[in-house]
Amino acid sequence: MTGQDWLEKDFYAALGVPKDADQTAIKKAYRKLARQHHPDHNAGDDKAETRFKEIGEAYAVLSDPEQRGQYDAIRAMAGGGPRFAAGRGGPSAGGAGGFEDLFGGMFGGGAPTGRTSYPGGSGAGTGGGGFEDILGGLFGGGGRGAGFRPNPRAARGADINATTTLAFRSAVEGSTVSLDVEGRKVTTRIPAGVRDGQKIRLRGKGRPGSAGGEAGDLNITVRVQPHPVFTLDGKDLRITAPVTFDEAALGAEIEVPTLDGQRVRLKVPAGTPSGRVMRVKGRGVQATSGAGDLLVSVQVVVPQKLDGKARKAVEAFAAATRDADVRADLIARAQE
């Protein structure tokens, strides 16, 4: 953006705020207008798109204290923003509002010619305190000639952090979410199998950059609500299935649920201990890179109460297996 652009564009008017507006008022106005004119809300409306760009350009300058100071200085020098041209002849040579009138008024003189010297140095053509040095001091740079450019330093926009919460099923299957980000509606697809606490980066969806700098990023932290039965382990789903003592000892075929509401039959081999994990292929997360599995942990349930017949049966079992020492290996390994 050139110095002439800053002279001609009223950024305060673009945001609808007074020139003494504080940063809070500027930010509030930007959010409101950006939401109103955002292209997502005005598909195919070229005027809305142009207005949205003007709003972003104005906010990029006015939200930066250094650039805002430079902008205010240029506008004040030009008396509010009319175009002026340097050099001899033309409208500026004989009328008010031109280049010579502007700087002549600043230093208490009349309309200077191209050879007039300003206080503190020689003529404009010879350097040292002339027009170029005045602008160089104002904008932190040198540069000769009347067609000056403030050339504010391009800066990347700030990143924005946001959080979204998904139901467990939505996290496993993938979901499309919409977030309100500083007055803008941002819609994105959350991939299947996202984990609790996982961060997703949307490049260029943060705050706009200044002076042509790139926009920042939007960092979304995903929170996943727990499920009463299933847990997520990468692309796999985990579940704990209770089995009775006789099912674990003698073997059985049991039914376990899947996340899609169906059931699958699972064979429990005879002698299956509590904690053993069995795998059901392809019934986990259906990701683009392939489907995960359903991992079933067996939990042998011990009866809390036994009636007379059941107690006698257990006692008979204990008598029949009395010679088996299930802790022998534990004692041996402890002595190593």
* Residues lower than pLDDT 70 in the chain: 1-5, 78-152
**Where are the extended beta strands (E) located within the chain?**
160-166, 175-181, 184-190, 199-202, 218-224, 231-233, 236-244, 252-257, 263-268, 277-280, 286-287, 290-291, 294-301
For residues 93 and 95, give the distance between their C-alpha atoms in angstroms, rounded to a whole number: 6
pLDDT at 2: 53
The three-point CA angle 34-39-41 to 5° equals 85
In this structure, are 12 and 111 located in the same domain? Answer: yes
For residues 318 and 336, give the distance between their C-alpha atoms in angstroms, rounded to a whole number: 30
Buried b (16+ CB within 10 A) or exposed e, 253-290: ebebeebeeeeeebebeeebeeebebebeebbbbeeee
| Ordered strands of the 294-301 beta sheet | 231-233, 236-244, 294-301, 277-280
CA 158 to chain centre: 10
pLDDT at 151: 54
For residues 112 and 99, give the distance between their C-alpha atoms in angstroms, rounded to a whole number: 9
In this structure, are 28 and 134 located in the same domain? Answer: yes
pLDDT at 88: 40
0.75 exceeded by pTM = no
pLDDT at 58: 87
Structure-derived torsion over alpha carbons of residues 231, 234, 235, 236, reported in degrees to the nearest 10: -40
| Structural domain span for residue 290 | 231-305
pLDDT at 272: 94
The total number of structural domains that make up the chain: 3
In this structure, are 72 and 90 located in the same domain? Answer: yes
Residue 122 included in any domain: yes
Check which CATH number belongs to the domain holding 172 and give it: 2.60.260.20
Residue 326 included in any domain: no
